[in-house]
Amino acid sequence: MLLRRVMRIFVALAVVLAGAVHASASAAASDAGPPPTGRQLLHYNHAYGVLDRATADAIEHSAYLREFANFQVRTTMGSGGRTWTGRYLLGRETYLELFGAGDLPGQDGALGAGGLALSVERRGELTEVIRRLRGQGIEHPVEFPQTRDFGDGVPVPWFDAVFTSGEYDAFGAWGMEYRPEYFADPRSRTGPARFPGDVGRDRYLSDDYRRHLMRDITSIRLAVTARDLANTVPLLRAGGFSVRSVAGGVVAKGGGSTIRLDAVPREQAGLRQIGMSLNRPVAHRHVERLGRSALVVGPGLRAVWDFPAPAGG
């Protein structure tokens, strides 16, 4: 989420490039197929969605979610003193960030807005992602360094990011690589490296997920505009996802995650479904209704959270 709001600063610089990038992305979307190589570089990191106010409030105050997952409502300070407050479900390597309509300013706070972050596991792999993007005809990917402020006014390098375009309708996806300086700062409360150059998701998130039922996010489905879809497909392919066309959109698989994107008009855009793995099997099916959404847990080792299309969409 933070990246798209920060990226608004750079839109004026990206306008000249947007036409060429969009044309290349459109061609890639229409020719969805195998990734450039078999090596997976990008992995699902997190996604966010802007929900209707009643659903967002129900999520924020849910006692069930606090038992089901490592659930937090917290405020983060990013570059330039920008802050945002989100509702987080945190797993072992992946997480979900949710907002209510109006929580964020302007375009990013509109109902149905959303984003998808894909991250590398090893230092330097984002450079290879960028090389692959250029190989698909994205001649000028938009690169961006992000910092974090822990409250003392001193920005700490957080991660580097890349977008295929500086323009979007309601949804944006980016590739990212955590910075070693962030892991080295004790205030980040991150884990130790498992191997040289480890900048993986497992280090970034805590082990608190073990005390709850939710383990990780394994699948996501979002409704996005045709332009936002076209801008996303090249990134998925550059990251090593296997991308195939389906009726109305694409399905991307890789790194243990399934990502489905459906092309819709802007007024129908938004988060539609999250699939989750569990730390232990449950014997019975439980349905938890949160505003207009429904979280179905079990039976077994799976949970599915459905978010309906906007009323009248």
pLDDT at 241: 98
What's the rounded Cα separation, in Å, for the pair 168 and 78? Answer: 21
242-263 pLDDT tens trace: 999 999 999 999 999 999 999 9
pLDDT at 79: 54
Over pLDDT 70: what percentage of the chain?
Answer: 84
- Who contacts 118 (Cβ-Cβ below 8 Å, separation ≥6)? 42, 43, 44, 45, 173, 174, 175, 176, 235, 236, 239
Least confident of 14-18, 53-57, 82-86, 150-154: 14-18
On the question of pLDDT at 296 being above 80, the answer is yes
pLDDT (average), residues 115-126: 98
What's the rounded Cα separation, in Å, for the pair 198 and 182? Answer: 12
pLDDT (average), residues 267-293: 98
pLDDT at 102: 87
pLDDT at 150: 87
Q: Place 82 in a pLDDT band, splitting at 50, 70 and 90.
A: low
On the question of pLDDT at 184 being above 50, the answer is yes
Enumerate the domain spans of the chain: 2-306
Mean pLDDT, the chain, whole residue set = 88
pTM greater than 0.85 (yes/no)? yes
91-109 pLDDT tens trace: 999 999 999 998 887 888 8
Q: Place 37 in a pLDDT band, splitting at 50, 70 and 90.
A: low
